[in-house]
C-alpha cells in the first residue's frame, strides 16, 4: 500500500512518526510524509526510506492560524491544497493523520479519492488543548470558547477507518466518552526501540563526566506542566544531605513565558544543575546510563496525563534505571505496580526531596528497582508493542 502521512510539524525529529513509518515500510508499504518547513530544511528528501515532502510556512504565522483552525478557513485551505496535489500525482491508499487537527481534511477527501483514513492520536487532544498556555491568555480564552474541539473530535474520529491511541485507558475513554467503535481502534504505546535504548550502549566519556555525582535526569519538553519547578524547589532541600547532587536535564523550552534558568538562579541552585539543551534521541540513552535516578512528575491535572504513560518512562525502563513519578494515575500505577520506582505528591518538593534521600541512602532499594526494570524491559520495546498496529494496517489489503 501507498501511505500518505500528514504531520502538522517539522520532521525530523519526531520519534513516534519515524518509528511508525519505518515499521510500515518494513511490512512492505511505501510511506510519503507531508510535513512543515520553517525554512531550515529541504523541500523534499529521502529519510530512512521515508519520502519526505515539506510545506514552507512562517512559524509565527502557522501558530496563529492553527490556533483558529475551527474558526477561520486559512490553515485548512493551506493543507487541503497540498494534500490534493499529492493525491493527483500519486496513487494513495491510506491517509494517516498524526494528531487530531487536519482529521476533517482526510475524512472529506476519503470518498472522492477512495482512500482509507487513519487518525493517530498522540494524546487526548480535546482535553489537552484546553490546558495549554496559548489557550489560557485573554485572546486564547476567546478562541477556546469559539473552538469546540470535543465536537470536532467526536465527528471526525467516528468516521475514521482506524484510530490509533497510545494507551489502553485512553482507548477506553475514546470508547466511553467519544463513542468510538473499539473494533476500529488499536493501542500503540510510544515505546523505544532496542537498537537505540540498549543498556550496553554507553558513552564512557559521559559516564566518566558524572562518575562523582549523584545524578537525577530528565529529558523532554520543558515547561511548568512537566513538574520542572518541583524538581528545582527540591534542590535546596537536598544540598546538605547529598553534596554531590546534580540535576541534569535536556530538551526545548516549550512555554513562551516559562524560563527555569531564571528560577534556578533565583533559588541559588545553579551549581546543582546542568542544562544540556536539546540533544538528539540517540544521545539520550548515554545520559540515562550515567544517571542514578530518572524522573517525570507532571501534575495530574488532565484526563490525558492520567491516562497515558510518557515515552520517557519506557526509555528509563529499557535503560534499567529507578524512576520517580508524580500522582498521574496510570504512570503511578505502572511504576509502583512493577516495583521500578517511587511516586510523590504533585507539586510537593519536600516529598520529592525525601524520596530522593531515601534512594540515595538505600543502594539496595535502587538496585532492586533497576533489576525489576531489567526483567520487564523486553515487553516494552517498540519491536514488541508495534505488532498489533502493523497487523491492523495489513487488513486494509484484504
Q: Does the residue 198 lie in any domain?
A: no
Q: Is residue 78 scored above 60 in pLDDT?
A: yes
First-last CA distance in the chain: 11
Lowest mean pLDDT among 22-31, 123-132, 284-293, 319-328: 123-132
Residue pLDDT, tens place only, 177-216? 888 999 999 999 999 999 999 998 889 999 999 999 999 9
**What pLDDT is recorded for position 268?**
95
Q: Are residues 89 and 184 in the same domain?
A: yes
Q: Are residues 361 and 349 in the same domain?
A: yes
Q: Are residues 164 and 307 in the same domain?
A: no
Please give the tally of structural domains in the chain. 2
Q: Does the residue 268 lie in any domain?
A: yes
Grid coordinates representing 106 are 482526510
Beta bridge partner(s), residue 325: 296, 343
Q: Are residues 347 and 237 in the same domain?
A: yes
User: Cell 529499557 sits at which residue?
Assistant: 318
**What pLDDT is recorded for position 305?**
82
Q: Are residues 69 and 126 in the same domain?
A: yes
Q: Are residues 186 and 209 in the same domain?
A: no
pTM for the full predicted model: 0.86
**What pLDDT is recorded for position 300?**
87
Q: Does the residue 199 lie in any domain?
A: no
**What pLDDT is recorded for position 129?**
62
Q: Which domain holds residue 25?
A: 2-191+382-397
**What pLDDT is recorded for position 53?**
96
Residue pLDDT, tens place only, 213-236? 999 999 998 877 788 999 999 999
Q: Does the residue 142 lie in any domain?
A: yes
Whether the Cβ atoms of residue 32 and residue 86 lie closer than 8 Å to each other? yes
Q: Are residues 133 and 274 in the same domain?
A: no
**CATH number of the domain encompassing residue 21:** 3.40.50.2000
pLDDT band at 104 (very low <50, low <70, confident <90, very high): very high
Q: Is residue 398 scored above 60 in pLDDT?
A: no
Residue pLDDT, tens place only, 135-175? 666 666 666 655 677 888 899 999 999 999 998 888 998 89
Long-range contacts of 233-239 (CB under 8 A, 24+ apart): 233/267, 233/349, 234/349, 234/350, 234/352, 234/353, 234/356, 235/267, 235/269, 235/272, 235/273, 236/267, 236/268, 236/269, 237/349, 237/350, 237/353, 238/272, 238/353, 238/356, 238/357, 239/269, 239/272
Q: Is residue 371 scored above 70 in pLDDT?
A: yes
Residue pLDDT, tens place only, 276-313? 999 999 999 999 999 999 999 998 877 878 888 999 99
Q: Could you tell me how far CA 348 lies from the centroid of its own chain?
A: 24
Q: Are residues 208 and 180 in the same domain?
A: no
**What pLDDT is recorded for position 355?**
97
**What pLDDT is recorded for position 46?**
94
Q: Are residues 218 and 319 in the same domain?
A: yes
Q: Does the residue 196 lie in any domain?
A: no
Q: Are residues 146 and 259 in the same domain?
A: no
Q: Are residues 36 and 184 in the same domain?
A: yes
Whether the Cβ atoms of residue 294 and residue 342 lie closer than 8 Å to each other? no
Q: Are residues 226 and 120 in the same domain?
A: no
d(CA 287, CA 207): 8
Task: Strands of the chain (E only): list them.
Answer: 2-10, 30-37, 44-47, 50-56, 94-98, 116-120, 162-165, 185-187, 214-219, 245-250, 273-275, 293-296, 323-325, 341-343
User: Cell 468510538 sits at which residue?
Assistant: 180
Amino acid at each position: 500500500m501507498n501511505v500518505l502521512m500528514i504531520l502538522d510539524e517539522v520532521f525530523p525529529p519526531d520519534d513516534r512518526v519515524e518509528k511508525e513509518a519505518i515499521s510500515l515500510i518494513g511490512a512492505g508499504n511505501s510511506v510519503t510524509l507531508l510535513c512543515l518547513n520553517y525554512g531550515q530544511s529541504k523541500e523534499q528528501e529521502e529519510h530512512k526510506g521515508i519520502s519526505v515532502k515539506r510545506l514552507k510556512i512562517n512559524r509565527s504565522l502557522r501558530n496563529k492560524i492553527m490556533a483558529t483552525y475551527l474558526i477561520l478557513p486559512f490553515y485548512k485551505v493551506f493543507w487541503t491544497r497540498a494534500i490534493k496535489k499529492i493525491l493527483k500525482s500519486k496513487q494513495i491508499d491510506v491517509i494517516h493523520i498524526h494528531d487530531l487537527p487536519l482529521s476533517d481534511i482526510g475524512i472529506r477527501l476519503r470518498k472522492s479519492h477512495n482512500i482509507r483514513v487513519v487518525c493517530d492520536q498522540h494524546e487526548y487532544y480535546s482535553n489537552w488543548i484546553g490546558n495549554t498556555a496559548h489557550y489560557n491568555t485573554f485572546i486564547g480564552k476567546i478562541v477556546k470558547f469559539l473552538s469546540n474541539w470535543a465536537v470536532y473530535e467526536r465527528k471526525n474520529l467516528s468516521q475514521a477507518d482506524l484510530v490509533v491511541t497510545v494507551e489502553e485507558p485512553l482507548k477506553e475513554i475514546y470508547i466511553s466518552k467519544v463513542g468510538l467503535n473499539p473494533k476500529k481502534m488499536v493501542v500503540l504505546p510510544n515505546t523505544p526501540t532496542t537498537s537505540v535504548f540498549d543498556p550496553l550502549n554507553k558513552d564512557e566519556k559521559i559516564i566518566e563526566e558524572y562518575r562523582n555525582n549523584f545524578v537525577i535526569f530528565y529529558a523532554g519538553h520543558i515547561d511548568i506542566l512537566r513538574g520542572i519547578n518541583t524538581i528545582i524547589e527540591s534542590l535546596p532541600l537536598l544540598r546538605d544531605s547529598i553534596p554531590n547532587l546534580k540535576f541534569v536535564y535536556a530538551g526545548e523550552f516549550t512555554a513562551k513565558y516559562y524560563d527555569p534558568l531564571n528560577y534556578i538562579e533565583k533559588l541559588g541552585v545553579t551549581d546543582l544543575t546542568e542544562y544540556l539543551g536539546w540533544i538528539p534521541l540517540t544521545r539520550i540513552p548515554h545520559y540515562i546510563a550515567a544517571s542514578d535516578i530518572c524522573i517525570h512528575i507532571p501534575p495530574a491535572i488532565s484526563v490525558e496525563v492520567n491516562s497515558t504513560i510518557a515515552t520517557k518512562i519506557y526509555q528509563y525502563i529499557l535503560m534499567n534505571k529507578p524512576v520517580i513519578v508524580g500522582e498521574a494515575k496510570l504512570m503511578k500505577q505502572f511504576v509502583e505496580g512493577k516495583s521500578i520506582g517511587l511516586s510523590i505528591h504533585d507539586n510537593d518538593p519536600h516529598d520529592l526531596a525525601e524520596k530522593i534521600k531515601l534512594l540515595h541512602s538505600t543502594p539496595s532499594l535502587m538496585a532492586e528497582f533497576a533489576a525489576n526494570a531489567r526483567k520487564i524491559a523486553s515487553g516494552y520495546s517498540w519491536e514488541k508493542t508495534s505488532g498489533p498496529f502493523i497487523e491492523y494496517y495489513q487488513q486494509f489489503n484484504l
